[in-house]
Amino acid sequence: MAAGFDQHQAACHGDPMFRLLRPLLFLLDAERAHRLTLAAVGMGMGKTARPDDPMLSTTVAGLTFPNPVGIAAGFDKNAEVPDDMLRLGFGFAEVGTVTPEPQDGNPRPRIFRLREDEAVINRLGFNNEGLEAVRARLAVRHGLPGQVGVNVGANKDSADRIRDYATGVRGMGRWASYITVNISSPNTPGLRALQDRAELTRLVAAVIAARGPLPLPLFVKVAPDLQPEEVADIAEVITGSGIDALIISNTTLSRDGLTSRNADEAGGLSGKPLLERSTAMLRDFRRATGGKLPLIGVGGISSGADAYAKIRAGASLVQLYTGLVYKGPGLINDIKRDLVRLLRRDGFRRVSEAVGVDS
């Protein structure tokens, strides 16, 4: 995980390798810790998850997921370990963000742990190896079970960012279970302008044309910092457009209530402080779309209760990342176990029955 595992709070999932890595990772800078974590996961660190309770199985955008809990984009930018993340118990994995051309991203240091707040600030800037490298890795795993989505973005120096997104859809479409169009990162200057009504209309038309006849679900990922009129505009453009789901949300620029010494670093904030803001945005989009469009809830999930709150607010699926930094890989199965308990407590037979009941 980009900031490593907290040596006091992480659950080690019974694996001695986690016990060894936990203190080491937090002694390292966050980006080096991330590389070590990816390497360890790729070597099989962690136990293989048990089969999921059938009540967690769900279908969204024509895709079947064994459980609704996914690893968010940002962890595995270059599609190095998607199947390893599925093995650990995630119901789906999203790789990327992938841009048409490789790019280094912003200068280091660019990831900051906020331990007191159980949060992370990053200003990575879509650092990745580019479309061709990621496509080659996904081509090798093609035909294997499990849903692996690809999050696509635009190069920082692109003269035509909408064309970049269309290139990503065309280039990755054959190898992805779904594609997420990421227009909400705060770390590429001007990118969030693509959420404006006119630009979003052009973008949606371009990526749908790029998809062509492929049976490929397209998702759009939006920011948690939108104003009510922006929510209304996005909902109107997306609903009925051919886009299959909205992911809500990306990292936030807000710094409300933070206590950590790194709180003033520039970049997008993720983790526990984002939970309330992102869940409120989820409820806003549930209302704005009238429940006609699947929503995927992201931001601040560090327990089964957090995931359940997002589902009840309107999320058909959820994703997490920063929670793993502070709770470790045991969090995955903890969330699934608690989801089953909460669903049964409230009389639901399957997770889909709970979607949006509080909205």
Other C-beta atoms within 10 Å of 264: how many?
A: 10
Cβ atoms of 217 and 62 within 8 Å: the answer is: yes
The three-point CA angle 338-277-266 to 5° equals: 115
**What does the alpha-carbon distance between residue 86 and residue 103 come to, in Å, rounded to a whole number?**
27
At 300, list the tokens.
């601040």
Backbone angles phi, psi at 144, to 5 degrees: -75, 155
Among residues 185, 270, 278, 316, which one is catalytic? 185
Angle between the N-to-C axes of helices 131-141 and 161-172, in degrees from 0 to 180, rounded to the nearest 10: 20
At 44, list the tokens.
């099989």
Cβ atoms of 49 and 337 within 8 Å: the answer is: no
Query: Does the annotation mark 177 as catalytic?
Result: no
Catalytic residue positions, numbered: 185
